């Protein structure tokens, strides 16, 4: 009989145990482990701004040009200045320009230019209207006026009054009078020139006439009014004592035209509209320019350009685009709107009561006019929100609409291989989910109770309380766990699944 010592026996025992342990680990089936994150709903942002319609402001000019024998005011410099002025006028305004001689009667030797023929009488179109390119030629051919009386203020009043009904001077337009003379208004007989009472009476009467024509004036007026957006009386005259300069022959230092320029400039409007403010720095003589300084001609309209406001017709909207036809589905409950002012508005439930501010949404493709003022327009086909109250958009406001795709619900867990049912471990968002038909899971089996293989199964369901299939779906083939109650998951969920595969 062979005797084994204690050391050898102990070594054999330890080796056998180690071999047995290795065999269990190497030949036992390994667990299938999957970790899946369900994507969050997709968000989309549609941001755009409202529109407007730009309309050139209507501006009517009356140029009264000195054609007396005492001036050689018509020269190359003044003709260039007029051309430059007309270029500026035509580029910015819906203009009417009437040029008339200072000494004259009615519309004799006057001419007229306009951007369009709209609203003009046939007499104006046939007898007064000329192309703008002929302006300097017409001035050059203007006949010299003879006589001692140069009543420019009365001439301005008469020309405005006599050319209202024929469409030259329009209601609700800007009315700009420009008088150019090397002398002063004589306001009557030469013997009256130094009578301060007669002079002031004449000035007050002509100021009253002009302001009655302007409108929004507190005086007692008769006859019609132009209701001018603004009236200006600009004078290009001798402002200093010297009797002549390089631009004019002998003349007279001006008082009356300069006085009228200032008075019309500072006369308030009874409806509270803003008065001109572009010449406050020239408070001693606003809207009056020195005829001896030719550079004045190039800047006479700087103030006008600053004070005349281009007319902007603001568009107003009661619908706003959300998405085009064919875009990804939208979750009606997750729509958010915000104006560029920072204001946000709630989703309202139809019917919307008067005075409510917010929006409604029909989850269907519509074709609507998004704009309701100044006329219905700017049509859009797709998904829209309808706006109410303060949520409506008016130029220059912008609106941002944020949407997201609908939340997706899943009632199944996919397994790539047949599982050993008792080995299944499921966690959703870190929480252990038990095997249960109440807030848990069950393996989908065949009639024999074995895990069943499906060629295709839609994992998406209608919602947490409705397990009917939802399309478009998420279709897979394989083995599945069916979920119940709180175990049903949605977007953003984290799924951790572990199980032993069944080799049978």
User: 186-205: per-residue pLDDT in tens?
Assistant: 876 555 556 788 888 999 99
> What's the rounded Cα separation, in Å, for the pair 419 and 417?
6
Give the model's pLDDT for residue 13. 44
Long-range CB contacts (within 8 A, 24+) of 106-115 = 106/158, 106/162, 107/159, 107/162, 107/163, 109/142, 109/143, 110/159, 111/135, 111/138, 112/168, 113/86, 115/56, 115/90
Residue 60 in 3-state DSSP?
Answer: strand
Range among 28-37, 51-60, 114-123 with highest mean pLDDT value: 114-123
Q: What is the pLDDT confidence band of residue 257, given thresholds at 50, 70 and 90?
A: very high
Q: What is the pLDDT confidence band of residue 161, given thresholds at 50, 70 and 90?
A: very high
Omega prior to 190 cis, within 30 of 0:
no
* Least confident window among 25-34, 87-96, 147-156: 25-34
pLDDT at residue 471 greater than cutoff 60: yes
> What's the rounded Cα separation, in Å, for the pair 465 and 338?
33
Give the model's pLDDT for residue 357. 97
Q: What is the pLDDT confidence band of residue 164, given thresholds at 50, 70 and 90?
A: very high
* Least confident window among 281-295, 341-355, 469-483: 281-295
Percent of the chain exceeding pLDDT 70 equals 82
Ramachandran angles phi, psi of 150, nearest 5°: -125, 80
Q: Is 24 left (phi over 0), alpha (psi -120 to 50) or beta?
A: alpha
> What's the rounded Cα separation, in Å, for the pair 383 and 50?
18
* Least confident window among 124-128, 244-248, 334-338, 407-411: 244-248
27: Cβ contacts below 8 Å, ≥ 6 apart: none
Give the model's pLDDT for residue 304. 58
Q: For 300, how many CA atoms within 13 A lie in the half-sphere containing its CB?
A: 32
> What's the rounded Cα separation, in Å, for the pair 297 and 76?
12
Place of tokens 């001006």: 254
Q: What is the mean pLDDT of residues 126-154?
A: 83
**How distant, in Å, are the alpha carbons of 103, 111, 160, 171, 177 from that of 106?**
10, 12, 10, 21, 16
> What's the rounded Cα separation, in Å, for the pair 408 and 404?
12
With CA atoms as reference, report the closest residue to 230 among 260, 273, 259, 168: 273
* Least confident window among 127-136, 245-254, 293-302: 293-302
Ramachandran angles phi, psi of 308, nearest 5°: -80, 125
* Average pLDDT of the residues of the chain: 84
Range among 54-58, 298-302, 497-501 with highest mean pLDDT value: 497-501
With CA atoms as reference, report the closest residue to 127 among 115, 142, 144, 110: 110
With CA atoms as reference, report the closest residue to 101 among 140, 75, 132, 49: 140
**How distant, in Å, are the alpha carbons of 142, 408, 415, 427, 437 from that of 442?**
105, 21, 13, 14, 7
34: Cβ contacts below 8 Å, ≥ 6 apart: 416, 495, 496, 497, 498
**Is the pLDDT higher at 413 or at 80?**
413
Give the model's pLDDT for residue 12. 42
Give the model's pLDDT for residue 54. 74
pLDDT at residue 460 greater than cutoff 50: yes
Give the model's pLDDT for residue 209. 97
Q: What is the pLDDT confidence band of residue 16, given thresholds at 50, 70 and 90?
A: very low
Give the model's pLDDT for residue 347. 97
pLDDT at residue 275 greater than cutoff 50: yes
Q: Are 36 and 494 in contact (CB under 8 A)?
A: yes
First to last CA, the chain: 49
The secondary element (H helix, E strand) that includes residue 198 is: helix 196-214
**Is the pLDDT higher at 331 or at 146?**
331
**Is the pLDDT higher at 40 or at 307?**
40
Q: For 65, how many CA atoms within 13 A lie in the half-sphere containing its CB?
A: 27
Give the model's pLDDT for residue 198. 85
Q: What is the pLDDT confidence band of residue 70, given thresholds at 50, 70 and 90?
A: low
pLDDT at residue 241 greater than cutoff 70: no
Percent of the chain exceeding pLDDT 90 equals 55
Q: What is the mean pLDDT of residues 422-442?
A: 95
> What's the rounded Cα separation, in Å, for the pair 366 and 375?
19
Per the structure block, which two tokens stand in for 413?
A: 């867990």
Give the model's pLDDT for residue 71. 58
Give the model's pLDDT for residue 29. 55
Q: What is the mean pLDDT of residues 120-125?
A: 96
Residue 360 in 3-state DSSP?
Answer: strand
Domain ranges (residues) in the chain: 43-53+313-404, 57-309, 408-499
pLDDT in tens, 390-414: 999 999 999 999 999 888 999 999 9
71: Cβ contacts below 8 Å, ≥ 6 apart: 181, 182, 183, 248, 249, 251
Q: Side by side, which strands form the sheet with 32-37?
A: 32-37, 494-499, 425-428, 431-433
> What's the rounded Cα separation, in Å, for the pair 27 and 419?
18
Q: Are 265 and 276 in contact (CB under 8 A)?
A: yes
Q: What is the pLDDT confidence band of residue 472, given thresholds at 50, 70 and 90?
A: confident
Q: What is the mean pLDDT of residues 294-314?
A: 62
pLDDT at residue 273 greater than cutoff 90: no
Q: What is the mean pLDDT of residues 407-424?
A: 94
Give the model's pLDDT for residue 196. 83
Q: Report the CATH fold assignment for 57-309.
A: Rossmann fold (3.40.50)
pLDDT at residue 27 greater than cutoff 80: no
Long-range CB contacts (within 8 A, 24+) of 129-133 = 132/86, 132/90
Q: What is the mean pLDDT of residues 468-478?
A: 91
Q: What is the mean pLDDT of residues 260-279?
A: 88
Range among 8-17, 33-42, 71-80, 300-309 with highest mean pLDDT value: 33-42
Give the model's pLDDT for residue 469. 94
Give the model's pLDDT for residue 399. 95
pLDDT at residue 99 greater than cutoff 80: yes
* Least confident window among 37-41, 418-422, 475-479, 482-486: 37-41
Give the model's pLDDT for residue 295. 60
Q: What is the mean pLDDT of residues 81-86?
A: 69
């Amino acid at each position: 009989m062979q005797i084994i010592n204690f050391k050898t026996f102990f070594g054999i025992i330890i080796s056998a145990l180690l071999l047995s342990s290795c065999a269990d680990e190497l030949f036992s089936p390994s667990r299938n482990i999957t970790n899946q994150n369900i994507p969050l709903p997709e968000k989309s942002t549609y941001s755009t701004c409202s529109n407007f319609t730009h309309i050139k402001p209507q501006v009517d000019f009356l140029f009264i040009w000195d054609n007396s024998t005492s001036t050689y005011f018509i020269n190359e410099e003044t003709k260039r200045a007029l051309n430059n002025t007309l270029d500026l006028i035509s580029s910015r305004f819906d203009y009417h320009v009437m040029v008339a001689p200072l000494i004259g009667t009615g519309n004799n030797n006057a001419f007229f230019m306009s951007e369009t023929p709209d609203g003009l009488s046939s007499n104006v179109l046939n007898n007064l209207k000329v192309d703008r390119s002929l302006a300097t030629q017409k001035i050059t051919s203007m006949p010299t006026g003879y006589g001692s009386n140069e009543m420019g203020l009365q001439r301005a009043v008469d020309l405005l009054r006599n050319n209202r009904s024929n469409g030259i001077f329009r209601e609700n337009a800007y009315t700009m009078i420009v008088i150019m003379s090397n002398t002063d208004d004589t306001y009557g007989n030469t013997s009256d020139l130094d009578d301060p009472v007669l002079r002031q009476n004449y000035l007050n009467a002509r100021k009253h006439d002009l302001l009655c024509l302007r409108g929004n004036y507190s005086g007692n007026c008769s006859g019609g009014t132009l209701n001018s957006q603004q009236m200006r009386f600009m004078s290009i005259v001798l402002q200093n004592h010297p009797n002549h300069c390089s631009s004019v022959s002998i003349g007279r230092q001006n008082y009356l035209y300069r006085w009228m320029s200032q008075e019309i400039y500072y006369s308030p409007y009874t409806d509270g509209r803003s008065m001109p403010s572009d010449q406050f720095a020239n408070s001693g003589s606003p809207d009056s320019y020195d005829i001896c300084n030719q550079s004045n001609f190039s800047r006479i309209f700087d103030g006008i350009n600053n004070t005349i406001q281009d007319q902007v017709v603001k568009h107003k909207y009661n619908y706003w685009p959300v998405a085009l036809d064919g875009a990804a589905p939208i979750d009606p409950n997750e729509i958010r709107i915000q104006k560029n002012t920072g204001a946000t508005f709630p989703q309202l439930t139809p019917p919307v009561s008067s005075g409510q501010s917010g929006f409604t949404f029909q989850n269907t493709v519509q074709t609507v006019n998004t704009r309701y003022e100044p006329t219905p327009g700017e049509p859009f086909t797709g998904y829209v929100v309808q706006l109410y109250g303060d949520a409506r958009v008016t130029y220059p406001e912008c609106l941002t609409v944020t949407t997201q795709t609908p939340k997706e619900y899943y009632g199944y867990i996919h397994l790539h291989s047949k599982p050993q049912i008792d080995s299944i471990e499921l966690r959703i968002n870190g929480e252990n989910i038990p095997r249960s038909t109440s807030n848990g899971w069950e393996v989908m089996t065949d009639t024999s109770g074995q895990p069943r293989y499906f060629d295709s199964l839609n994992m998406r369901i209608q919602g947490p309380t409705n397990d009917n299939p939802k399309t478009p779906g998420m279709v897979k083939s394989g083995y599945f766990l069916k979920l119940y109650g709180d175990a049903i998951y949605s977007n953003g969920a984290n799924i951790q699944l572990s199980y032993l595969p069944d080799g049978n």
